[in-house]
Structure 1
Amino acid sequence: MIPTAETPADRLVLEAVGFSLSTLPADARIAIALSGGVDSSVLLDAAVRVAGASRCLALHVHHGLSAHADAWLAHCEAFARERGVEFAAERVEVSRDAGVSVEAAARAARYRALDDMCASRDVATLWLAQHADDQAETVLLQLLRGAGLAGLAAMAPEYLPAGASVTRVRPLLHLLRAQLEQYAGERALQSIDDESNADTRYARNALRHEVTPALAVHFPGFRDALARTAAHAASAQRLLDALARIDMESASRDEGRALSHDALLAFDDDRALNLMRYWMRTSGFVAASSARLGDALRQLREIGAAGEGHGLRIDHAGHALRSYRGLVYWEAGDSNEPADETALAARAISELAWQGESIWRLRQWRGTFVFADADVAAGDSDTIPASVLRRAVLSARSRSGGERMRTSEARNAPSRTLKNLFQERGVPAWKRDVPLLYVGDDLLFVPLLGVNRAALPEQVDEAESRVRIVWREDLLIG
């Protein structure tokens, strides 16, 4: 039940929070992102009043960008404790990479940390404190940057980003900053003031302090007008996404991790670009500029569906666009580097002293090695004597580059690099990030390629039991 409101501002805030709460199960816990500023302090205070302290969890991210960051963390913890709310915080390092603004890097790090904290706790949703003024500033920024519909749609009241653990909700999105400040004053809420918010070198601050005050004088209803613009853009974007989902049905390959080159190029430019935007967004990529996407499509058309994309020079968000055997996909790395020289990411080595186990679960690889009894007499030839598995400790390792194996049973057959074998068998780059199974220091088995014959003994006891090794990804475990 919503508490009795004492003032108009009190009523508006409590009703907004109550509406968001009404969409959740009665016992669902809510995480509130608490920066310590007025907006998030109002959201937490109102959430406690409406939902109760036991259902709330305050989450704070320490960016380390300000000399006051430690004091802000202490303030947020005290603010939450005063209301009987559980508090958690995480420190992050903000990337200073060239070409990435500090604002964007801090925002990305903040959301990653918030999502990590939500994933490790029993919460149903993450509440954010953005309001109508923030929405208006976002629409203006996107307009000035020449953003498309997805940018103009600005901030959704509720959304679930790709890869996020919980839905994000903005209960205060239709309220003005002035209304939140009035609530905070009436409730005597103590909040912090981030000095960077006054720095007009940042585009959003320049709009907030120098542009929107002038707009408010000449166009008093500009916030509502911009909110309507965002709503119209969001509606149009939903229609474009519906079209992209239809196109994905014909163009998607390998559960959306790649697109058919033929199918993509069959669309006209507008439809192909819409599909690429949707594909990248649903794959978890940050939005690419229209110029970059246009250049990518131009290059893809120039090489043609039959050609290999070794000359593609499109880099985005730490990945390079690749074209291989009729498929288009993103691979970690730089387009100036040769494609897929090694595994996508190194993982810690796992070891097992094999004593006849039938399965070996590798959580960091999201899969399982299965050791099944084999019947050589029935033609099951790609097998391993059980004694080989026991001769030394088994280890699962990442590719480091240059590994070789011999797949032929002929003793004088040459060994070949894993890269060449993968290419020969048409295994796309994103499927090559598999655990290599070693026995001692010898490479024994490679998923998708099979047994390394060079690791097997020349003389084999025909009566000895043999084992077939199978690698199964998590989604295939039944």
Structure 2
Amino acid sequence: MTSTAETPADRLVLAAVGFSLSTLPADARIAIAFSGGVDSSVLLDAAVRVAGASRCLALHVHHGLSAHADAWLAHCEAFARERGVEFAAERVEVSRDAGVSVEAAARDARYRALDGMCASRGVATLWLAQHADDQAETVLLQLLRGAGLAGLAAMAPEYLPAGASATRVRPLLHLLRAQLEQYASERALHWIDDESNADTRYARNALRHEVTPALTVHFPGFRDALARTAAHAASAQRLLDALARIDMEEASRDEGRALSHDALLALDDDRALNLMRYWMRTLGLVAASSARLGDALRQLREIGAAGEGHGLRIDHAGHALRSYRGLVYWETGDSSEPADETALAARAVSELAWQRESIWRLPQWRGTFIFADAGVAPGDPDTIPASVLQRAVLSARSRSGGERMRTSEARNAPSRTLKNLFQERGIPAWKRDVPLLYIGDDLLFVPLLGVNRAALPEQVDEGDSHVKIIWREDLLIA
């Protein structure tokens, strides 16, 4: 589906969209991140004209940060429907964790939601509407923040984030905001004006409204110069990432969720810091300042690989750096709190009246309980009579600290805290954030630890069928 281009802005926008479309298979669907602002409105309108409505999917994220958020959702749905485009939306909760700005938290929540919507619909390409002015503002912000090469590299025209399901593409990255606004005016598009974009208390808005207009007057080519700076930084960063991947092969433990303390400390400071930055990106953590990373490495060197790191005081983006049994990892919580006892984030309780279902999906835990038939006379001591699972409602709950269970079949054996059992079995803290399965008010099963024998009856009907409970984590997609 094409349309005759009649104006310079029309030709530029359609050409940019057409180029991105030409790199995709002929039947590939395209998801467009659609906020309803002028930029994403232009991108969606042009995508429909070039690719056809049937290949497009408009995705909207409702942050709830503005009093107008519901009206924006309605506008976006109507805009998409008018063009015959499938529309989907998701509401998100924006984290208010200490050390993370609302802007950064909203951005993180938005991308997680967009990627999840793409994955659930089998769409492998996500188009974003950032343009040349956005790119220039990003480079300036990173320069002013003293960012490293990864920050100066700014926004790539196309990339697939680690663990993401959809490749992110920015078809309009080389076009100016003014060109998009011209296109929107010529097409008589209606768009949303987010009132927060005028608030110059936000750094990006201050640059947009007060700095870049002056640069345009005195340095009219500054956007191209900053784009070249971003390209040079991206090239240099790729080399650093290649080196970090070599070091990760030696230092990575538990599929990259931890680093070997020995292997990390064997590197010189520059190389160790490069590895830590790369590792944090693979974990989805926001970048830390050079001062904070330098302090972390200094403390790790002081405690040595043999130390347990109880004195580490490094907090970042709602996480604390921990050292345990020769491993270094990030744990949810604050370093002033005891490791792993109360730092895990609580999730909403889920309940199930079990009627012999084989699976119980828990999206908030990114995993599934599997109830596998084990027959009438199982040999596995960790099976449970089916009648036990039906005596009350099952519930999946977060740890709150202090929970106890008995893993021994001996009735007179003492119960022990989950924390002690996890430590005894050498289970690192980042694996302990698991749902506890209760039957009524009794703790029944803990992933990685097994069945709480104290919750089982002394006598079991010989004809009662048994079930083995298995906890299976999702593949990491975000």
Q: Deviations over 1:310-343 (max 9, x none)?
A: 1111111211111111111111111111111158
SS of 1:476's equivalent in the other structure is coil
| 1:39 and 1:129 in contact (8 A); partners too | yes
Contact 2:100 2:317 in 1 (8 A): no
> Which residue is 1:382 aligned to?
382
Kept after mapping to 1: 8 A contact 2:244/2:275:
yes
Distance 1:411 1:19, change over 3 A: same
- C-alpha separation in 2, matches of 1:104 and 1:260: 29
Structure 1 range deviating more: 65-74 or 307-316 = 65-74
Q: CA deviation at 1:181?
A: 2.6
Native 8 Å contact 2:378 2:466 kept in 1: no
1:208-261 CA distances to partner (integer Å, 9 max, x unpaired)? 233223322332221111101101111111111111111111111111111111
Contact 2:38–2:192 (8 Å) recurs in 1: yes
Moved more, 334-343 or 219-228: 334-343
SS at match of 1:377: coil
Instruction: Say if 1:343 and 1:399, in contact at 8 Å, map to a contact too.
Output: no
8 Å Cα contact 2:137/2:208 also seen in 1: yes
- The whole-number CA distance in structure 2 between the counterparts of 1:61 and 1:392 is 38
- Structure 1 residue 282, shift from structure 2 partner: 0.9
| Alpha-carbon shift at residue 174 of structure 1 (Å) | 0.8
Unaligned runs of 5+ in 1: none
**Structure 1's 27 and 417: CA in aligned 2 closer, same or farther, altered over 3 A?**
same
If the length of structure 1 is used for normalisation, what is the TM-score? 0.85
Which region of structure 1 is more displaced relative to structure 2, 175-184 or 302-311?
A: 175-184
| Partner-residue secondary structure (3-state), 2:468 | strand
CA distance in 1 between partners of 2:93 and 2:154 (Å): 26
Deviates more, 1:303-312 or 1:359-368: 359-368
Deviations 1:14-57 (A, max 9, x none): 11100111122222222222333332222122111101122222
Q: Deviations over 1:434-459 (max 9, x none)?
A: 44455665545544334545456667
Q: What is residue 317 of structure 1 aligned with on the other side? A: 317
Q: Residue 78 of structure 1 aligns with which residue? A: 78
Please state whether the residue corresponding to 1:118 is helix, strand or coil: helix
Alpha-carbon contact 1:2-1:18 (below 8 Å) kept: no
How has the CA–CA distance of structure 1 residues 16 and 306 changed in structure 2, closer, same or farther, with 3 Å as cutoff? same
- Which range is displaced more, 9-18 or 435-444? 435-444
How far did 1:122 drift?
4.7
Distance across 1 between alignment mates of 2:78 and 2:394: 51
Identical columns (%): 93
- Counterpart CA distance in 1 for 2:447 and 2:9 is 62
Query: Structure 2, unaligned stretches of length 5 or more?
Result: none
Matches of 1:465 and 1:77, distance apart in 2: 51
- Indicate how the Cα distance of structure 1 residues 89 and 425 shifts in structure 2: closer, same or farther if over 3 A, else same: closer
Three-state SS of the structure 1 residue aligned to 2:279 is helix
Task: Judge conservation of contact 2:100–2:318 (CA < 8 Å) in 1.
Answer: no
1:342–1:36 CA distance, 2 compared to 1 (3 A): closer
- Structure 2 match to 1:157: 157
Structure 1 stretch displaced more, 181-190 or 225-234: 181-190
Deviation at 1:377, TM superposition (A): 12
Secondary structure in 1 matching 2:273: helix
Secondary structure of 2:285's aligned partner: coil
Deviates more, 1:461-470 or 1:181-190: 461-470
Q: Which has the larger radius of gyration?
A: 1
- Which has the higher mean CA deviation after the structures are superposed, 183-192 or 238-247? 183-192
Structure 1 residue 199 and structure 2 residue 199: aligned?
yes
Q: 1:267 deviation in Å?
A: 0.8
The 8 Å contact of residues 377 and 466 in structure 2, kept in 1 or not, is answered as: no
Q: Secondary structure at the match of 2:377?
A: helix
Cα drift, residue 113 of structure 1: 4.0
8 A Cα contact 2:384 2:468, kept in partner: yes
Mean Cα deviation higher: 126-135 or 348-357: 348-357
CA–CA distance in 2 between the matches of 1:250 and 1:162?
19
Q: CA deviation at 1:354?
A: 8.0
Could you say if the C-alpha distance between residues 362 and 128 of structure 1 is closer, same or farther in structure 2, counting changes exceeding 3 Å?
Answer: closer
Helix, strand or coil: the match of 2:475? Answer: helix
For 1:280-315, what per-residue CA distance to the aligned partner results, in whole angstroms no more than 9, with x for missing partners?
111111111111111111111111110011111111
Whole-angstrom CA distance in 1 between matches of 2:477 and 2:136: 48
Partners of 2:98 and 2:318 within 8 A in 1: no
By how many angstroms is 1:350 displaced?
6.4
Pick closer, same or farther for the CA change 1:409–1:186 going to 2, 3 Å.
Answer: closer
- Tell me which moved more, 3-12 or 15-24: 3-12
Paired residues of 1:2 and 1:14 also in contact (CA < 8 A): no
Say whether the 8 Å CA contact 2:97–2:318 is kept in structure 1. no
TM-score (norm 2): 0.85
SS in 2 for 1:13: helix
Change (3 A) 1:417 1:191: closer
Offset at residue 207 of structure 1 (A): 1.9
Question: Relative to structure 1, is the Cα distance of residues 137 and 175 closer, same or farther in structure 2, using a 3 angstrom cutoff?
Answer: same
User: How far is the alpha carbon of 1:98 from its aligned partner?
Assistant: 5.9
Change (3 A) 1:329 1:172: same
C-alpha displacement at 1:62, in angstroms?
4.3
Name the Cα RMSD after superposition: 3.9
Change (3 A) 1:152 1:353: closer
Contact 1:397 / 1:436 at 8 angstroms: preserved in 2?
Answer: yes
Q: Which moved more, 1:228-237 or 1:204-213?
A: 204-213
Q: Is the 8 A contact 1:31 1:127 kept in 2?
A: yes
**Deviation (angstroms), 1:140:** 0.9
Partners of 1:63 and 1:94 within 8 A in 2: yes
Distance between the aligned counterparts of 1:72 and 1:460, measured in 2? 58
Answer with 429-438 or 299-308: which moved more. Answer: 429-438
Q: 1:462 to 1:293 in 2, by over 3 A?
A: same
Instruction: Assess, with a 3 A threshold, how the Cα gap between structure 1 residues 456 and 240 changes in structure 2: closer, same or farther.
Output: same
CA contact (8 A) 1:343 1:398 kept: no
Deviations 1:175-195 (A, max 9, x none): 122222332333333334334
Q: In 1, distance between residues paired with 2:146 and 2:184? A: 36
Q: Following TM superposition, by how much is the alpha carbon of 1:74 offset from its aligned partner in structure 2, in angstroms? A: 4.4
Task: Give the superposition deviation at 1:7.
Answer: 2.7
> How many aligned positions are there?
478
Distance 1:133 1:265 in 2: 42
Give distance in 1, aligned partners of 2:119 and 2:226: 34
Q: Which residue of 2 aligns with 1:256?
A: 256
**Residues in 2 aligned to 1:70 and 1:370: alpha-carbon distance in whole angstroms:** 38
CA distance in 2, matches of 1:460, 1:321: 47
Contact 2:163 2:477 in 1 (8 A): no
Seen in structure 2, the aligned counterparts of structure 1 residues 48 and 304 have a Cα distance that, compared at 3 Å, is same
Work out the CA distance in 1 between the residues paired with 2:476 and 2:59. Answer: 36
In 2, distance between residues paired with 1:459 and 1:69?
A: 57
Moved more, 154-163 or 2-11: 2-11
Query: Higher mean Cα deviation, 340-349 or 2-11?
Result: 340-349
How far did 1:132 drift?
Answer: 0.9
Deviates more, 1:177-186 or 1:295-304: 177-186
What is the Cα deviation at residue 263 of structure 1? 0.8
- Provide the rounded CA distance (Å) in 2 between the counterparts of 1:307 and 1:33: 47
How far, CA to CA, are the matches of 1:131 and 1:364 in structure 2?
A: 34
Q: Is the 8 A contact 1:349 1:395 kept in 2?
A: yes
Change (3 A) 1:29 1:387: closer
